[in-house]
Amino acid sequence: MDAVLGLEDGTVVRGTGFGAEGVVCGELVFTTQYTGYEEALTDPSYAGQILMFTYPLIGNYGVSGETFQSDGMKALALVVREACPHPSHRLSRESIGEFVEGEGRCGILGVDTRMLTIRTRESGAMRAALVVGSSDGEEAVRLARKHPRISEIDLISGVTCKHPYTIDGERGAPHVVVIDLGIKESILWSLARRRVNITVVPATAKADEVLDLKPDAVLISNGPGDPLRAKDAIDVVSKLAGRVPIFGICFGNQVIALGLGAETYKLKFGHRGANQPVKDFESGVVHITSQNHGFAVDADSVERVDLRVTQINANDGTVEGIAHNYLDILSVQYHPEAHPGPWDTEALFFDRILRMVK
């Protein structure tokens, strides 16, 4: 099946289509991980994005359904050099191609992902259009240029829960209210393993509604798009700071910064992968982390409010963690729950926030 990928800068790449026929427009981003594609494709933070893997072979252990981070594929489409048609693993239920097709999503294979990655690093993440069932490159480029930029789209409403729900822990254990901006299941797994009582609320929850739940702590989750779109969550942070401990992961790190008066900005091509080095100022240790974000906290703006930078990315010096100077507020830009990725920081983050709450 013919397929063509067009970028807003005029780049046209033709390949073989798989999955559903149709047209998909979004921001083309790349991830450097070579395992964990099942978790990545179902990560709500990839909503609105066409996901490209830099590793040349994806799908060799199939799709099991056991590590989904949501109820299905959240990335708009998949771009790979090669998609393994005959996976080999005892837990595999279907191939990557069968999964994409079953989700009604589009994919393209047989393309030069190395060239596309270099182009993205040079020009920044670009709008793209994937057309499966056609080879018209000019039309794909036109569609890409017509599509809104990621900052102009409300992606949070499409991935947040519609109604609050609870996950029971031990009696007398801390009660954590989680604001769902597109939360990964692995974050809830990490909390549940520690037997805390969890109430998950939609992104539209107001500060007084959160406070009525009598939380011992509030956790702001990961999510897609521009953090400035998370207006209700930003307001929750602003109004509850000092009244209840507040913690954040990834998108939540940016939301906390905004709620306390700092600023955020869009990265050129973001951090997406399972091997990002993060230096912790307190311990001096460099952790290898899993990341997926296209925005970051502005370090200069942090210094103007009652926050401090606690961790930075060892590659480019961007902010990877912040903490309040005297309130119980702490957040990280990476994914400590590590699905997929190394487990270096899972206990460090979740055990620390529980100690702070207790």
84 is catalytic: no
CB atoms within 10 A of CB 227: 28
Could you give phi then psi for residue 253, rounded to 5 degrees?
-60, -45
Could you give phi then psi for residue 99, rounded to 5 degrees?
-65, -50
Q: Select which of 8, 250, 293, 346 is catalytic.
A: 250
Six-digit token string for 265 = 């900005």
DSSP 306: T
Q: Select which of 293, 324, 335, 339 is catalytic.
A: 335
CB atoms within 10 A of CB 84: 16
Strand partners, 128: 7, 26
Tokens 């109604």, residue located: 163
324 is catalytic: no
Strand partners, 176: 198, 217
CB atoms within 10 A of CB 55: 16
Six-digit token string for 302 = 């942090």
Count Cα neighbours of 357 within 13 Å in the Cβ-side half-sphere.
Answer: 23
Extract the runs of DSSP E, i.e. beta strands, from 157-258.
165-167, 175-179, 197-201, 217-220, 246-249
250 is catalytic: yes
Q: Select which of 25, 337, 339, 346 is catalytic.
A: 337
* Pairing mode of beta strands 175-179, 217-220: parallel
CB atoms within 10 A of CB 3: 27
Residue type, 145: R
Catalytic residues: 250, 335, 337
